[in-house]
Amino acid sequence: MTTPITYSIKYDRTDSGLDGAVDLGNSPYHMTMGRNNDGLLEIFFAGTDRALYHIRQVDGSTWEGLGSFAGSTAQQVAVASGPAGFLYLFYIGTDNHLYITQQTSLSQNSWSAKQILGGASAKSVTVAQNANGFLDVFYVGTNNNLYHNYQTVPAGWSGEIPLAGAQAKQVAVASNADGRLEVFYVGTNNDLYHIAQTIANDSLTWTAEQRLSGASANQVAAARNQNGRLQVVYFGTNSDIYSNAQIGANSTTWTGETLVSGGIGAPAQPSPTQQIALGATQNGALQLFYVAASTALHYNVQSGPNGTWVGESRIETQDYVNEVTVANNADGSLALAYIAQVVNSVNGK
């Protein structure tokens, strides 16, 4: 008899020692996590049935029941806080269109009707906030071209704009210390590239595409150090994990590729889902979470703010892990959520 497999969302806090994951259930396929204006976290996910769902914290330790977005189906989701603290949810539908819905009330957690972002047919999406609070969404089209669409007013968007003629498989974005967004993407040739706004809040003018030296990647994540330097961490095509950082805040010069962890094996078939996640802890040090080929969940953390990596550790869970995401709590501590594959016994066996 085939052993049934189910999928579950598990949530933990890094400041609790990563030893008390809460099982939230709900059969997820792909997920993301954002923080509401009141400081409470909310998880958004495409279910294994491809319907679109969300669950919200009631307080720091308990969660509301499952909510759904009626009539919406999704493959991948991204979320960010926009003007006035409202959350904006972007998702790739099962028809490959890129959709948006936004909160219409901070107190009642109500949402607008979905709408298609014009021209968008996508397979990988991420979003970031400009220094002025308006959002810019970046996505890889089904034609492998890299596009973005930026917010012009709270309910208005620029329309689809190609970025640098770039061909990409996966995309990540971070904000420089001076407010300029910088986009990192894995090219269809597996090289790792980046481009940046020339001026903060100017989503029309970008630097030329540059390749990060030494980098051949499957998947990338990006974050900003406490001293303002951007840092990228990525799975290499050889399955090792590497890091690269600016030599100073806002710099166009990078330190060069550094090995973070070797030999654990990246996911065998990298996809646009997030199997590597990077965020800042309460003391300002960056912490990295990643899923190995064995589907074990690992982490690594800087020795302190702006520091070197202390070494790989495995989170002691019996679960097979498919995906991981992080977000900061209101107190600055880092929250972790991951999709666990649960193999259920049959007839007590």
Q: Quick check: 4 and 342 in contact, CB under 8 A?
A: no
The answer as to whether 141 is a domain residue is yes
The answer as to whether 155 is a domain residue is yes
Tell me how many domains the chain contains: 1
The answer as to whether 18 is a domain residue is no
Specify the pLDDT at position 347: 46
Confidence band of 107 (pLDDT split at 50, 70, 90)? confident
The answer as to whether 322 is a domain residue is no
Query: Please, what is the average pLDDT of the chain?
Result: 88
User: What is the model's pTM?
Assistant: 0.92
Specify the pLDDT at position 75: 94
> Phi and psi (nearest 5°) for 16?
-105, 5
Q: Quick check: 232 and 241 in contact, CB under 8 A?
A: no
254 against 298, higher pLDDT: 254
The answer as to whether 26 is a domain residue is no
Confidence band of 344 (pLDDT split at 50, 70, 90)? low
The answer as to whether 31 is a domain residue is no
Which range marks the domain in which residue 121 is found? 64-316
d(Cα 292, Cα 277) in Å, to the nearest integer?
Answer: 12
The answer as to whether 44 is a domain residue is no
The mean pLDDT of 120-143, rounded to a whole number, is 95
pLDDT tens, position by position, 207-259: 999 999 886 899 999 999 999 999 999 988 888 899 999 999 999 999 999 99
Burial classification of residue 179, based on how many CB atoms lie within 10 Å of its CB (0-12 exposed, 13-18 middle, 19 or more buried): middle
CATH of the domain at 123: 2.120.10.70
Q: Quick check: 66 and 55 in contact, CB under 8 A?
A: yes
> In the chain, which ranges are continuous DSSP H helix?
none
Nearest to 63 by CA among 315, 316, 337, 317: 337
The answer as to whether 8 is a domain residue is no
Residue 183 has pLDDT above 70, yes or no: yes
